[in-house]
Amino acid sequence: MTVTNEKIKGITAAPGIAIGKAMIYRPHEIDFIPKKKISLQDIDSEMERLNKARNKVLKELEQIRDQIEKRLGPNYAELINAQISILMDHHIDDEVRNYMKENLVHVPIAYRVVMNVYIQMLDDGESSFFQERILDIRDVKQRVLRVLLSETIEPLPNHSDEPVILITKYLTPGDIIILSNNNVRGFVSELGGTTSHTSILARSLKIPMIVGIPNIANETLSGETLIVDGYKGELIIHPDHETEYLYKQQIKRLQKITTYYAEHKDDRTVTKDGKSIDLMANISLPVELKGLKEFGGQGIGLYRSEYLYLMKHTLPTEQELFQEYVTMVRFLKNKPVVLRTIDLGGDKIASILEQELLHEDNPNMGYRAIRICLDRPDIFITQLKAMLRASHYGKVQIMFPMISRLEELEQAIHHFETAKNILREENIPFDENCEIGILIEVPSAALMADKLAGKVDFISIGTNDLTQYMMAVDRGNEKVNHIYCHYDPVMIRTIQWIIRSGHHHKVPVSVCGEMAGDPLSILLLIGLDIDMLSVSPIFLGPVREMIRGLSFKELQDLVCNLLKMDKRQDVYKALKDRFILFFPDWKKRFGESLIAENSELQEEG
């Protein structure tokens, strides 16, 4: 008996909804290589075979890189450059040669052994960065072995015109680019993470994708109707007619709502009783600027500057960073751009620092963000100089993350002034009045907000990490992640204190974490007198619409009542009830899926 509407939970890698027939895609892997003995005299000719194979693979990867650049722009070439750097690594040559010398086997076996050693070294089972590196190495290994053994890849067997959902163990950037042209409407992968190269490409191509579903790539699913709900991170297997119909209607509603948001992108973000809220966008990649342009926004409230470091296998130069920043600044045309200095470490480990970060027991509380910058002023000052240079062309603000004490902020300001002095000596123009701010995301900084506010021009609250640290909970741990909650009374009091501290020093305060895009949290934040909300571009439309339907005075009264509550359940219920009073038709008005990933309202309402 076929089970209908079977739901499997995964991780949202790219939002959206897709319906189609399941197609199992198994990347061609070479598991067996015939043994062949060689003599010492054969080693040079075997290395020449490897060199020729590598050059052929290099051309393949360069073609994929050209396709990516043509569809998405030059910045995305770095996704393939990561694989090219592995392919051309001379250390691998040395190890392959040594293995052949010691074991007298031909080059395919030696190459496979060496590459597998690298995979085993990186396979800690936890780090998303290392898992991504493993996929890169595995793909390069298989490409080279296919050439060495003269094996070909069978094309994807899709002869129909009907939409398909591609199910696979893992995907490479090349797979995404090639397969997205073959009626593929969605991706489901056993491996991968939200920051993986394939996830970045899927989001850029607007193809819904779910990752992290174990053992999903099995033949029993082939041909089944599937629904990929990239907002909830759910895969629905064999939906009944009613469910499929509802999702098709939902897709139509989302399209209609999206058109409405685009048409109203220039509406003022002001409450019904005149309270103005600045609405900005969080940006991780240049391609997301399209969303900012499509749905409006008064600038960039958070630019996560890590991606150039994450995609490259060497430190980006000052000029590379400057080109990246100035492109955004010019695009925004004098609208504010808040550039956050690098927040490497934790879940964003970069290859250029992997030796220092490799053996941390608790990376989220270890060597990361401003701690790396203060320990490595060469990296820090290079980035600050690039940001300052970009400030000459628009309204740039620079923000320091993970500040935990006043001394760290003072050291960061010292390096900021050093970068300015160097630029003056080099006669390079920059905005002498470039503003600086901090991202408050640890309890010590929250408690010292009144002292920190006196040293900066603006404050932003990173509610994701702040909630995690305030509640002493790893939100990635299934056994305790229920403790993680924005609606906890301690979070209300903490955010209130930060906002009051900022306003005491006439410093504006914003929120750039998940709370800024969560419908219930928006009520709370506006009632607490927040100055700015910064959200993912996809949420600019619904957040603007919500702000325009709220009353600041009523929300202030609501917050007074919330501050008297002791339990998060009471806070949640009060926020939910008031939200429904403001927007009784909220599902029709905002689209239930568009806000589902940021709120429990859909399940509770």
- Give φ, ψ of 30 to 5 degrees: -95, 110
Residue 599, pLDDT > 50, answer: no
Own/partner contacts of 595-601, CB < 8 Å, gap of 24 or more, are 595/517, 595/518, 595/519, 595/539, 595/542, 596/231, 596/232, 597/12, 597/15, 597/231, 597/232, 597/233, 598/514, 598/517, 598/518, 598/519, 598/539, 599/518, 599/519, 599/520, 600/572, 601/519, 601/520, 601/576
Query: Class of 40-148 per CATH?
Result: mainly alpha
pLDDT at res. 353: 58
Under 8 Å CB-to-CB from 4, ≥6 apart: which residues? 238, 239, 240, 243
User: Would you list the domain boundaries of the chain?
Assistant: 6-20+164-239, 40-148, 256-604
Residue 605, pLDDT > 50, answer: no
**Structural contact between residues 342 and 369, judged by C-beta atoms closer than 8 angstroms:** yes
The answer to whether the Cα torsion of 171, 174, 175, 180 is positive or negative is positive
Whether 485 is catalytic is no
pLDDT at res. 597: 43
Tokens of 497: 């204190």
Q: Say what percent of the chain tops pLDDT 90.
A: 55
Fold of 256-604: TIM Barrel (3.20.20)
For the ranges 1-5, 31-35, 149-153, 397-401, the lowest mean pLDDT is seen at 1-5
Cα–Cα distances (Å) from 334 to 111, 328, 329, in that order, read: 53, 10, 7
pLDDT at res. 198: 80
Average pLDDT across the chain, whole number = 86
**Structural contact between residues 230 and 15, judged by C-beta atoms closer than 8 angstroms:** yes
d(CA 287, CA 77): 13
**Structural contact between residues 40 and 46, judged by C-beta atoms closer than 8 angstroms:** no
At residue 85 the predicted structure's pLDDT band, cuts being 50, 70 and 90, is: confident
The residue annotated as part of the active site, out of 392, 503, 512, 560, is 512
pLDDT in tens, 113-145: 999 988 887 665 555 556 667 778 888 999 999
For the ranges 68-77, 140-149, 311-320, 428-437, the lowest mean pLDDT is seen at 68-77
At residue 536 the predicted structure's pLDDT band, cuts being 50, 70 and 90, is: confident
Burial of residue 579 (number of CB atoms within 10 Å: 0-12, 13-18, 19+)? buried
Cα–Cα distances (Å) from 304 to 200, 285, 300, 325, 588, in that order, read: 14, 8, 10, 11, 33
pLDDT at res. 68: 79
Across the range 243-266, mean pLDDT stands at 89
Residue 405, pLDDT > 50, answer: yes
d(CA 479, CA 456): 39
Across the range 21-44, mean pLDDT stands at 88
Strands 225-229 and 234-237: antiparallel
Under 8 Å CB-to-CB from 88, ≥6 apart: which residues? 54, 58
**Structural contact between residues 546 and 275, judged by C-beta atoms closer than 8 angstroms:** no
Q: Using the 8-state DSSP alphabet, how is residue 277 labeled?
A: -
Across the range 530-548, mean pLDDT stands at 92
Using alpha carbons, select from 4, 462, 75, 432 the residue that is nearest to residue 239.
Answer: 4
The whole-angstrom distance between residue 329's C-alpha and the CA centroid of its chain comes to 21
- Which string of DSSP letters, residue by residue, matches 444-459? HHHHTHHHHGGG-SEE
At the second CATH level, the architecture of 6-20+164-239 is 3-Layer(bba) Sandwich (3.50)
Q: Among the ranges 141-145, 251-255, 406-410, which has the highest mean pLDDT value?
A: 406-410
d(CA 463, CA 472): 14
At residue 334 the predicted structure's pLDDT band, cuts being 50, 70 and 90, is: confident
Residue 402, pLDDT > 50, answer: yes
Residue 78, pLDDT > 70, answer: no
Residue 50, pLDDT > 90, answer: yes
The whole-angstrom distance between residue 181's C-alpha and the CA centroid of its chain comes to 24
At residue 86 the predicted structure's pLDDT band, cuts being 50, 70 and 90, is: confident
Q: Using the 8-state DSSP alphabet, how is residue 162 labeled?
A: S
At residue 476 the predicted structure's pLDDT band, cuts being 50, 70 and 90, is: low
Q: Using the 8-state DSSP alphabet, how is residue 268 labeled?
A: -
pLDDT at res. 80: 81
The residue annotated as part of the active site, out of 106, 197, 415, 486, is 197
Helix (H) or strand (E) holding 419: helix 406-425
State the pTM of this model: 0.78
**Structural contact between residues 512 and 462, judged by C-beta atoms closer than 8 angstroms:** yes
pLDDT at res. 493: 97
